[in-house]
Structure 1
Amino acid sequence: MSSSNPQGAKGSITSLKTRPLERSVALTRLGVGAGAKIVAHSIANIFRGEVERNDANREFYRRQAEVLADELGQLKGSVMKAGQMLSLYGQYFLPEEAVSVLSSLQDDTPPVDWKVVRPVLERALGRKRLAELDIDEVPLAAASLGQVHRARRRADGLQLCVKIQYPGVADAIESDIRTLSRLLLMTRLTPKSLDLTPVFNEVREMLHREVDYESERHFTEVFAERLTHDPRFVVPRVIGEYCSDQVLTTTYEHGLNVRDAKVQALAQARRDRLGQAFLELFLTEFFDWGMVQSDPHFGNYRVRIGDDEASDRFVLLDFGATRVFGRGFIDGYAKIVRGAIGGDRQRLIDGATAIGLMKPGFPRSVLDGFAELCELIVEPFAHADDTRVPARLRTADGRYRWGESDLPMRASRVAALNALSVHFRVPPREIVFLHRRLAGVFIMLAALRSELAARPLLERALRRCEKSESP
């Protein structure tokens, strides 16, 4: 095994706070410190002019987020996963400076020292099996619940990725969620009026799924089988003899982050093809398979650049957050989508009622407000001549310019207005999971600056869905 030390700006973590009490104390101490800084900052603002006050506020939010991100990265586990979610969707309710800092949790978190994770590996596989591998002690990637080490099987040189779960993370989930919800209020990074209960309920369920490595192995194998003949995607192959409930070993598959300069420098046509593949994958997962990988942060997707446009591929990683949807929910959601893109509000409302988003007897104004939001969200799938789509978001031949779109912000404003209604309902859990991935699709296509005529893709998926509904 390699004996090199972890390199980079952030050193490795030599010990983990794995007991719920010590993790809670660490976060509470952070919150108390943040409270004192908030008081000092508020007093100082009294004596500042408006411009100076705005600058001070931005700097304050940036410092608060840096402290929070650093502590989450040190603790790992549930709190770090929640931080990732905040960075992904925080643009709708967090200060811009906080989003910028928290986004570092996606791919730039401190690894855990080899001496901490090696005992997990030895207990899971046994020393004899472990001796068959040459494992690099410097992790290839460090995430919230575990880290991945590159390895080589000595017998044949097969390149592997060994994913090791951090000790104690499964036992700390409930305590972490309770403590973090209090911490976010203490740091004032989220508005007091924002109810994060549905978000944390989602995180809790997702985390319990993600620490289930046997389930993740199953979904990895299922995705690999279903995509085996699609040249646009690569799914790692599971190597079963090196797996356990805390260790998952697959083949190593190389690729680049979508934000990498080499990916960003690809010609428009190549970025469009990648964006179309990513969108089609989501539509297939939901409408055809009823099985969606619901954790969309960029660490789970890599781009493998080929020799030409036809050989560029997405490498799909980490299926721990895969969510299965029932046919009834899919059919009801399909009605919402058909109604939204076809201007059929009654069909839209019928679908929303079927899956619990709306209730019979809601006032017309509430139903119309919900329909307006749905019709706005499907903007990228509108006909090329639809005048409701801002002209700047269309290419000369009618394709939607995802990288230029401010649709998430416009939709969030409409959603916020609807949320003020006394009839607003917390959406079903399935919606929360599905829309998290849907938001991830939008962010991915925006990052690729894709220009797509997306409506035909959606219509084909809906037609396939209709066939599956037929007896």
Structure 2
Amino acid sequence: MAVDKDDKNNGSKGSISSLKTKPLERNIALARLGMGAGAKIAAHSIANIFRGENRRTQADRDFYERQARILADELGKLKGSVMKAGQMLSLYGQYFLPEEAVAVLSQLQDNTPAVHWKVVAPVLQKSLGRARLAELDIDETPIAAASLGQAHKARRKKDGLELCVKIQYPGVASAIESDIKTLSRLLMMTRLTPKELDLAPVFAEVREMLLREVDYKSERRFTESFAEKLKGDSRFAVPQVIPEYCSDMVLTTTFEEGVSVRDSSVQGLSQERRNKLSWAFLELFLIEFFQWGMVQSDPHFGNYRIRPDGKGGDQIVLLDFGATRVYQRSFINNYAGIVSGAMAHDRERIIKGAHEIGLMKAGFPQSVLDAFSQMCELIVEPFDLHEQGRTPRWLLNAQGEYRWHDSDLPMRAGKVAATNALSVYFRVPPREIVFLHRRLAGVFIMLATLGAELNSHDLLLRYLSPSAQTDG
């Protein structure tokens, strides 16, 4: 694969001027990586014989990081489903990969070069036809690039309407099956996963997810559904799908202006306005899960833009619905039981809900049940009645509102899990949990980035109420 160093599309990285799309050439590239990994493993194992325990531990950590970095670099060059699968491994991997490997693989989320225009232009021509394309002026420099496709800004000539044209990379859909098998073998060859762990369910889920994300017709339906459901809520803006410029591999919507939540124009807003944005973002998640049972599960900041308004009507722009997941009402109700049990410090209710969704199995020691319940009670800390005194005082402002930016809650929850060895019992949780908690973590990061100070106890209780969960 060649990278055009002079073309600085998509940040400081050059654009990829050709893609390995055939299974054979992709397999050869990954096989070379696997053989190299095998040689490095042998050398590392021999060297470990002559190292003391402390040096051996550090050497192992360095080795895992190097192996993961090599893997991530190669996946980034290959693009397509194999890279997206690598991203998913960083999500699932927190349960079974060395932390050094997770840290490196997580960089695949947003650190990828764009593909050169000459690679994606034929996709547009074949999908839409020359007559339709002649109606548009398309900027050949992408405004965003991901593992399965990239987006270009365009203008409709007849009325000047600004559009966003999302183009799927050629060959990625047909390579999914081969990529999954090859990556599974490669992961074993790099020795990044425990030998006794059955990765088949993990890769089955990754395969399903990949097939969903290359299904632009499904993404179009989810985009239209979100737009319809939120059309009366001025806090949110959802792009409008433009059907005549859509196909199996092209999704065109209106271009929606907005800036990153980290932009100075957002960070400089008053506390009141940042709180309103935070409240809206939190409530959106609660509505998606508890009412609609339809959650956009990718919390990447690029999927959310902020549109500041001098009159106080700030909006959140919602983008990219390819990772939307639908949840069954039974799962939602049982998960609500865990959350409501944690809010009430009712450990019997917590354990019952965990059993019902398959997160917990019969025969777990009482110490594990207690530690799991303690962790659940800790996780709902931002929603507690803070006057009860369970929340650390330094996390509350003068009005008793929770200060998300100053919270170290994820670290404290992780400490409870590590201290009680919960990972031994919860090796890989149900896939519904993985993706739900992915978005939940994104909510926490978003509110922390906005510097939210909120009392959201009543908000959560409202959506936990069975009477609120009616819009499935």
TM-score > 0.5, shorter chain as reference? yes
Counterpart in the other structure of 2:145? 142
Equivalent in the alignment of 1:418 = 422
Q: Distance in 1 between matches of 2:103 and 2:363?
A: 43
Residue 458 of structure 1 pairs with residue 460 of structure 2 = yes
Deviations 1:422-451, CA, capped at 9 Å, x for gaps: xx5854332233222222222322333323
Return the alpha-carbon distance in structure 1 between the equivalents of residues 146 and 345 of structure 2: 43
Q: Which runs of 5+ in 2 are unaligned?
A: 1-5
**1:272 & 1:50 partners in 2: Cα distance?**
50
Query: 3-state SS of the aligned residue for 1:420?
Result: helix
Amino acid at match of 1:247: V
Match of 1:255 among 254, 258, 269: 258
> Which residue of 1 is the match for residue 430 of structure 2?
428
Q: How far apart are residue 419 of structure 1 and its match?
A: 3.7
Q: 1:198, 1:426 within 8 Å by CA — same for their partners in 2?
A: no
Give the structure 2 partner of residue 232 of structure 1.
Answer: 235
SS at match of 1:257: coil
How far apart in 1 are the matches of 2:239 and 2:344? 39
> What percent identity do the matched residue pairs reach?
70
Counterpart of 1:129 (choices 128, 132, 138) is 132
What amino acid maps onto 1:335 in structure 2? G
DSSP-derived class of the 2:150 partner: strand
Matched, 1:279 2:263: no
Q: Separation in 2 of the partners of 1:94 and 1:263?
A: 36
Deviations 1:383-425 (A, max 9, x none): 213444334433343322333333333434544523424xx58
1:123 CA drift (Å): 1.4
Question: In structure 2, which of residues 392, 395, 412 is the aligned counterpart of residue 393 of structure 1?
Answer: 395
In the other structure, the counterpart of 1:291 is 294
Alpha-carbon separation, structure 1, partners of 2:92 and 2:393: 26
- Asked if the contact 1:92/1:409 (under 8 Å) is kept, the reply is no
Q: Confirm or deny: 8 A CA contact 1:6 1:138 kept in the other structure.
A: no
User: Which segment drifts farther, 34-43 or 390-399?
Assistant: 34-43
Per-residue CA shift, 1:257-288, capped at 9, x if unaligned? Answer: 33344444444433333222211100000111
User: 1:358 and 1:452 mapped to 2: Cα distance?
Assistant: 32
Match of 1:250, SS state, is strand
SS in 2 for 1:149: strand
| 8 A contact 2:245–2:252 mirrored in 1 | yes
- Identify the range of structure 1 (280-289 vs 323-332) with the bigger mean alpha-carbon deviation: 323-332
SS in 2 for 1:163: strand
Cα distance in structure 2, aligned partners of 1:244 and 1:17:
23
Shift of 1:149: 1.0
Q: Which runs of 5+ in 1 are unaligned?
A: none
1:320 and 2:327 equivalent?
A: no
Map 1:43-442 onto structure 2 (within 5 A).
63-86=66-89, 101-187=104-190, 198-307=201-310, 310-358=312-360, 364-415=366-417, 417-421=421-425, 426-442=428-444
Matching residue of 2:3: none
Q: CA separation in 2, counterparts of 1:256 and 1:44?
A: 50
Q: How far 1:63 sits from its partner (Å)? A: 4.9
Secondary structure at the aligned position of 1:284 is classed as: helix
- After TM superposition, the structure 1 = structure 2 runs for residues 24-43 of structure 1, keeping only pairs within 5 Å, are 24-38=27-41, 40=43
The CA RMSD over aligned residues, in Å, is 3.3
TM-aligned CA deviation for residue 255 of structure 1: 1.9
* Deviates most, 216-225 or 70-79: 70-79
The alignment covers a number of residue pairs equal to 463
